[in-house]
Structure 1
Amino acid sequence: MANSPGPAKRYLPFGGMLSNPDWGIGRTKAYRSRPGRVETVKPEERLFALRQLEVTYDKARETLWTYMKPDGRPSYNPDMLADFRSWQDGIEAKFSGEDSNLRYLVLGSRYQGVFSFGGDLRLFAQKIRQRDRETLVGYGNACVEILHRNMNALGLPIVTIGLVQGDALGGGFESLLSFDVVVAEKGAKFGFPEILFGLFPGMGAFSFLARRIGSNKAQELILSGKTYTAEDMHAMGVVHVLAEPGKGEAAVQDYIARSSRRHNGHRAIYQAAREVDRISLLELKKIVSIWADAALKLRDQDLKIMERLVAAQDRLGVQTAAA
């Protein structure tokens, strides 16, 4: 008997493959529940069934809570980026319109002690060794497209909140800068270690930081390679609300309770700030190209440092799973 062809694989625009090859990336996904039958799943239905994002809706506070649950290392692997795109599509589909009942969007992490370590360093090292610029640029563009939509609050009348209950390094720190409000527990660590292996955070960090703390200070922070505490970031104006360790969620709830009566004014001032400090998607993508070109110039010893960081992250994952 002839072999039956398996389901066609769907590839992401940055070179990764979806965990479930039957899922696409568009606004309406086709799902093959069994051979010969295709069902259409709307983005708003997919919103609460994402693999690496835990999503719940608090109707009383009109708040969507989302927590990252990464497969393996706490970094933005290609499948997580696909989940983030589906998450954004689902939010837009479910809560757009004049009768929207969403006012706050919160993103945190379920990974103990870590918000996110950011970019997929193992993928980076592999693609650099293969001289695969196209995949590096594709990955970076996928990241900045997500951050640009988040920075613009998905075009919805909402306030976005980043909840930091652990370390936010590299792209993890970078992604937080796209939120209107950052709530961080004291002692959480922030920083950009990329300079340690001859690179820089190329997916929005400089654009976001320069507009918040000035170009000179942004350069200093990125080039230092230093690790900063949440208290340091609060003093710089990057973290807006400090919380006691273990009290991050309560601090977010308190912020929402205190600001909800003035939500319209808060939302409007953040929207105005985006107009004053406009960041275009074109700017972000140009910097991704600079980042990819710089990545391809890394030496073997630089890549070995990157790979040692990956190994350290893997060990942390094993320890966390065993705890």
Structure 2
Amino acid sequence: MSAEPSPPVLVEREGHVALARLNRPGARNALSPELMEELATVLETLDRTDGVRAIVVAGDEVAFAAGADIPAMRARSFQETLTHPTARFWPRIAAIGLPLVAAVSGYAFGGGCELALSCDLIVASETAVFSQAEITLGIIPGGGATQRLARVAGKQRAMELVLTGRRFDAAEAHAMGLVNRVAAPGAWLDEALDLARTIAERPPLAVRFAKRAVLGADEGPIGIGLSLERRLYEQSMATEDRVEGMTAFLERREPQWRGR
């Protein structure tokens, strides 16, 4: 009997933190349509799972994700591009309410770099190498890189990276503000999980509100962002966790978050 094929995404859970690992090692975790569909479905399921408060998205030591599946893209027509299921992948990732922490080691090229940028925080190994290499294939990024790079690193750097497709390492990514933490080789996943655990210790509803508020800064003028923040603040004031957090502070004890 032949062994059953390994799933394209492996899921583990430890307490309030879930880990979703891309699992196409033979293709350096290239984002095939099957992997993208599975990852989006996994993240949406975890987003609705009671008790999960933060998610780490990781590859392996060699590659986070080495771009898109080029053979499949080469055969795709213009008409197919307009209706292809992968076009829905990026909005689905952007709609996840839980905090997403990307754990990056090795290659994060093209769509792989965009997947990391789609997450809310990035922990990178010293071995990580990033690139928006689409220009070298005769196309441009289609998963949000032109917008997210410009917002995080500024227009000048975004122009250089998108127009040249050059590679840059974790240290440069950290200096540009793309990466939150740089970890030693072998420690990158533990560092990402540790960051996710810290977030998972915070009140879950307030964490979701805070994520939406911060993302609002990227999505419109400051006036709209401030109005969004105020509405989310008012919603957080209506939660039981707010009463518990303030009571615990006054009583000098650890709060017991209930997500209500």
Q: Given the two structures, how large is their TM-score scaled by the length of structure 2? A: 0.74
Q: How far is the alpha carbon of 1:80 from its aligned partner?
A: 1.3
Q: How far is the alpha carbon of 1:192 from its aligned partner?
A: 1.6
1:247-269 per-residue CA deviation (whole Å, 9 max, x = no partner) reads 01221233234444445565543
Structure 2 residue aligned with 1:65: 19
Q: How far is the alpha carbon of 1:228 from its aligned partner?
A: 0.3
Aligned-CA RMSD value = 2.5
Distance 1:261 1:79 in 2: 33
- Note closer, same or farther for the CA distance 1:54–1:113 as it changes in structure 2 (3 Å cut): same
1:265-309 per-residue CA deviation (whole Å, 9 max, x = no partner) reads 655433212112128xxxxxxxxxxxxxxxxxxxxxxxxxxxxxx
- Is contact 2:125–2:183 with CA below 8 Å preserved after alignment? yes
* Structure 1: stretches of 5+ with no match in the other structure: 1-48, 280-323
- Is contact 1:144–1:204 with CA below 8 Å preserved after alignment? no
Q: How far is the alpha carbon of 1:104 from its aligned partner?
A: 0.7
Distance 1:270 1:171 in 2: 23
- Is contact 1:105–1:160 with CA below 8 Å preserved after alignment? yes
Structure 2 residue aligned with 1:56: 12
* Structure 2: stretches of 5+ with no match in the other structure: 221-260
Distance 1:230 1:149 in 2: 27
Q: How far is the alpha carbon of 1:203 from its aligned partner?
A: 2.0
Q: How far is the alpha carbon of 1:193 from its aligned partner?
A: 1.8
- Note closer, same or farther for the CA distance 1:266–1:88 as it changes in structure 2 (3 Å cut): closer
Structure 1 residue aligned with 2:212: 271
1:121 aligned onto 2:70:
yes
Q: How far is the alpha carbon of 1:241 from its aligned partner?
A: 1.1
Structure 1 residue aligned with 2:228: none
1:248 aligned onto 2:197:
no
Structure 2 residue aligned with 1:307: none
1:73-131 per-residue CA deviation (whole Å, 9 max, x = no partner) reads 221112112212331342244x2xxxx31111111013x4111112111112223xxxx
Within 5 Å, give how 1:125-274 maps onto structure 2: 125-127=74-76, 132-139=77-84, 142-152=85-95, 154=96, 156=97, 158-262=98-202, 267-274=208-215
- Is contact 2:63–2:108 with CA below 8 Å preserved after alignment? yes
- Is contact 2:132–2:145 with CA below 8 Å preserved after alignment? no
Count residues with an aligned counterpart: 215
Identity %: 25
Distance 2:102 2:51 in 1: 20
SS of equivalent residue, structure 1 residue 57: strand
SS of equivalent residue, structure 1 residue 232: helix
- Note closer, same or farther for the CA distance 1:137–1:117 as it changes in structure 2 (3 Å cut): farther
Q: How far is the alpha carbon of 1:217 from its aligned partner?
A: 2.4
Distance 2:106 2:180 in 1: 16
- Note closer, same or farther for the CA distance 1:137–1:72 as it changes in structure 2 (3 Å cut): farther
Q: Given the two structures, how large is their TM-score scaled by the length of structure 1? A: 0.60
Q: How far is the alpha carbon of 1:70 from its aligned partner?
A: 1.8
Distance 1:123 1:232 in 2: 31
Structure 2 residue aligned with 1:80: 35
Distance 2:64 2:139 in 1: 22
Q: How far is the alpha carbon of 1:137 from its aligned partner?
A: 2.7
- Is contact 1:189–1:229 with CA below 8 Å preserved after alignment? yes
Q: How far is the alpha carbon of 1:72 from its aligned partner?
A: 4.1
1:103 aligned onto 2:103:
no
Distance 1:83 1:217 in 2: 33
